[in-house]
Structures are given as C-alpha cells and as structure tokens.
C-alpha cells in the first residue's frame, strides 16, 4: 500500500506559537497601568488581527494540504482496493478452475469405483454360486473332475488318456495310457471339503482333536479305496494318483498330517494338487514323447536306408553324366582341330597365283591327314 503523506510539522508549531503569543499579550495588558491601556489595546488589536490573518492563512493552507492528503489517501485506497479486487478475482477464478478439475477427477474416480462395485457384486454372486456348488457333495465331485479334465487337456494330447475308464470292477476318473513299464496310471479326484471346513472351524482342543481325526479318517479312506481298486497287477502301473482340487487342503496335509502322507506313499498312492499335478503331467508328456520317438525309430532308420540308396543312385548317375561330358569335350576338341585345318587350307588356296608365277607351299599328304 502506498505511503500517505504526513502533515507539515512547522505549520502545527506556528499555530501553537501564535496561541501562546496571544495569551502572553493578554497577560501583559492586564498588568500594565491604565494610562497605557489604550495604546496597548490598539497594539493588541493590531497584533490580534495579524494573528487572526496568519491563523486564517495557516488554516487555509492546512485545509488545502489536508484535502490534498485526503485525495492522495483516497486514490491510494482506491488503487489498493482495485488491486485487491483483481487479485481476489484471479484467485477465485483459479480456485474455480481447480475445483472444476477436482470435480472432474472425482467423477472419474466415482465412475471407476462404480465399475469396481459392479465387479465386486458380480464376483460376490459368483462366489455364492461356487459355495452352493461346493456345498453339494455330487456337485463338488463334478467340480474336481472338470478341473482334472481341464488340466489334462492343457498338458497331454487327447489320445494319451481316457476319462471315466474302467479298471477291474470300478471306474476311475482318468487313466493315462503309458506303455509297460510302468503301465497305465490311474488318477482319481477326491475333495474332502466338509472335513477340512470342520477342521478350520473347530475351536478348542477337544473340537480340534475330533476334527483332525475325522479329516485324517476321510483322507485315509480315499487312499485305501484308490490303492485297492485302481492299482491292478499287470493292468496298471504300480502306483496311482489321488487328485485333491484344493491347494489349501494339500498344504494342510503336508504341513500337519505327515504320517498320513507317508502312509499314502507306502500304499503307492501319490497325493497331488492342481500345481503338482501339472508338473507331473509335464513329466509324463516328456515320457510319452520319448516313447513315441522310440516307436518311430525303426521307421526313421528304414527311411534313412532308402535315402542312402537314393543318394548312391544319384552318385552313379552323376558319374555317368560326367563321363558323357568328358566324351563331349573330347569330341569338341577334335572338331576344333578339323576346323582349324580347314581354315589353313582355305588360306593356302587363296595364296595360289593363277598365272603360275608362284607355287604355294602345300603340305605333304601325310601332314594333311594329320591336320584333318
């Protein structure tokens, strides 16, 4: 804000001195004798008139300066208010733009949140549907079979396995066709979800112990059934796979039921999860590829023999063609010699003088025969 001009200090001092002078003169007039009162009064009146005129002039000058200062102050205030109004307007405009951008971003985020809310709602519906499926024992078994089928389709060719294959007196979920040894390997899907859920929801040591026993008994029953029905001497491999379509159940078995896992190994039943089954199927695919290569080795050797025979015949024919080329080269050389002799004879005939003045230097008959 610009600086407001201050009042003149000298003007203020002058007014004060004039006031003091008037007071002093009045005191003198009171103390002087009566004979001099008239002249003193006249002198006082003149001085008072001068003082009044000086005071009036000083007041006029003071008023003018005050008006000038007031005008300068008003202008400074107006300029300050105008600048302040401009700044406030600019700031309000800037804040309005920022608020508009913030509202736009907020709307975009609300749209994203709305889309995420819809996805969450759909996912919740799907989770509820999955819970309904897994809650039913038959649907849960079908879920394990479908997951097993998808893993097999991704890892192995369709001709290398059979779904719902018959073994002995039972039907297994999948039979992988491997040659002897080791022979076909059976894979059966088991999903002990109810026993696992009871184990997770158990509270307290008695309930936990009972749930562990029930879970262990359920898994052991599945292992014994697979070992009895799907490991057949002479018909299948010496081991089978029990597919558990849950990584959580698989981890629980290996973390807290090591004895049960060891018993399944002794009975040659290998418990696998989706991840470990995929690794196993990858190994089986390599074995199948090796078996196929061995089966095709005889055909490959036979084709290689045919290829060697064709190469040998090609070499013979190239040799014959080379001999033909050599004979053609020799014939061309002889033809070249004959043409050169013909050219020389023609030149000599052209050198014979018809008037008999000169005799050409003709070669002997033997030499001509050699040239020809």
* pLDDT interval class at 19 (50, 70, 90): low
pLDDT band at 364 (very low <50, low <70, confident <90, very high): low
pLDDT of residue 128: 46
Per the structure, the complete domain to which residue 235 belongs is given by 126-292
Closest C-alpha to 241, from 329, 161, 317: 161
Per-residue pLDDT, 9: 57
**Domain assignment of residue 74, yes or no:** no
**Hey, is 6 helix, strand or coil?**
coil
Angle at 191 between CA 186 and CA 194, to 5 degrees: 155
Mean pLDDT lowest among 136-145, 162-171, 211-220, 324-333: 136-145
Look at phi and psi of residue 356 and say left if phi exceeds 0, alpha if psi is from -120 to 50, else beta: left
What percent of the chain is predicted at pLDDT more than 90?
0
Give pLDDT, residue 97: 86
In this prediction, residue 369 carries a pLDDT of: 53
Residue 62 lies in a domain: no
Judge whether 198 and 214 are in contact, CB under 8 Å: yes
Q: Are strands 240-243 and 185-189 parallel, antiparallel or unpaired?
A: parallel
- Whether 281 shows a pLDDT value over 80: the answer reads yes
Task: State the residue for tokens 């509202």.
Answer: 103
**In the chain, how many domains are there?**
1
Residue 206, pLDDT above cutoff 50: yes
The per-residue pLDDT for 89 is 84
Cβ atoms 348, 361 nearer than 8 A: yes
**Between these two residues, 197 and 267, which has the higher pLDDT value?**
267
215 within domain boundaries: yes
pLDDT confidence of 17, banded at 50, 70, 90? low
- Whether residue 318 is contained in a domain is answered as no
Query: Does 325 reside within a domain?
Result: no
Question: Do residues 25 and 47 lie in contact, with contact meaning Cβ atoms separated by under 8 Å?
Answer: yes
DSSP string, 194-212: HHHHHHHH--SHHHHHHHH
- Residue 53 in any domain: the answer is no
User: In which band, very low, low, confident or very high, does the pLDDT at 71 lie, cut at 50, 70 and 90?
Assistant: confident
Q: What is the CA radius of gyration of the chain?
A: 63
- Please write down the long-range contacts of 256-260, taking CB distance under 8 Å and 24 or more positions apart: 256/212, 257/212, 257/215, 257/216, 257/219, 260/216, 260/219, 260/220, 260/223
* 256 found inside a domain: yes
Structure tokens at 300: 């490959």
Please report whether residue 144 resides in a domain.
Answer: yes
- Classify residue 255 by burial, with Cβ atoms within 10 Å: 0-12, 13-18, 19+: exposed
The 10s digit of each residue's pLDDT in 113-151 is: 878 877 776 765 554 444 554 455 555 556 678 888 888
pLDDT of the residue at 1: 47
Average pLDDT over every residue of 39-48: 71
> Which of these, 10, 9, 37, 14, lies nearest to 25 by C-alpha position?
37
Query: Contact 148/172 with Cβ under 8 angstroms?
Result: no
Name which of 6-20, 84-98, 104-118, 340-354 the model is least confident about: 6-20
What value does the mean pLDDT of the chain take?
77
Closest to 151 (Cα-Cα) out of 285, 290, 288, 250: 285
């Amino acid at each position: 804000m610009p600086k407001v001009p201050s009042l003149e200090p000298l003007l203020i001092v002058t007014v004060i001195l004039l006031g003091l002078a008037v007071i002093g003169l009045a005191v003198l007039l009171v103390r002087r004798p009566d004979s001099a009162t008239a002249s003193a009064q006249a002198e006082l009146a003149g001085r008072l008139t001068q003082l009044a005129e000086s005071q009036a002039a000083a007041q006029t000058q003071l008023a003018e300066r005050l008006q000038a200062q007031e005008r300068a102050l008003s202008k400074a205030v107006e300029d300050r208010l105008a600048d302040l109004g401009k700044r406030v307007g600019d700031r309000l405009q800037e804040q309005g733009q920022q608020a508009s951008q913030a509202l736009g971003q907020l709307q975009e985020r609300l749209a994203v949140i709305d889309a995420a809310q819809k996805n969450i709602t759909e996912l919740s519906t799907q989770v509820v549907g999955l819970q309904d499926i897994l809650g039913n024992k038959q649907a849960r078994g079908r879920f394990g079979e479908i997951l097993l089928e998808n893993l097999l389709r991704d890892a192995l060719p369709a001709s290398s396995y059979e779904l719902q294959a018959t073994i002995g007196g039972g039907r297994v979920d999948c039979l992988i066709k491997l040659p002897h040894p080791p022979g076909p390997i059976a894979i059966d899907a088991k999903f002990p979800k109810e026993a696992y859920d009871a184990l997770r929801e158990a509270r307290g040591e008695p309930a936990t112990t009972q749930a562990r026993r029930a879970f262990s008994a359920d898994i052991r029953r599945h292992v014994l059934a697979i070992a009895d029905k799907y490991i057949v001497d002479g018909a299948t491999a010496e081991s089978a796979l029990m597919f558990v379509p849950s990584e959580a159940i698989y981890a629980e078995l290996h973390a807290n039921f090591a004895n049960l896992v060891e018993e399944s190994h002794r009975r040659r039943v290998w418990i696998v999860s989706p991840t470990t089954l995929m690794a196993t199927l990858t190994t089986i695919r390599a074995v199948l590829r090796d078996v196929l290569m061995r089966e095709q080795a005889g055909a490959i050797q036979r084709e290689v023999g045919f290829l060697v025979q064709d190469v040998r015949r090609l070499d013979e024919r190239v040799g014959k063609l080379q001999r033909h080329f050599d004979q053609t080269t020799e014939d061309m050389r002889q033809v070249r010699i004959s043409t050169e002799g013909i050219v020389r004879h023609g030149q000599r005939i052209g050198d014979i003088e018809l008037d008999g003045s000169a005799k050409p230097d003709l070669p002997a008959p033997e030499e001509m025969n050699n040239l020809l």
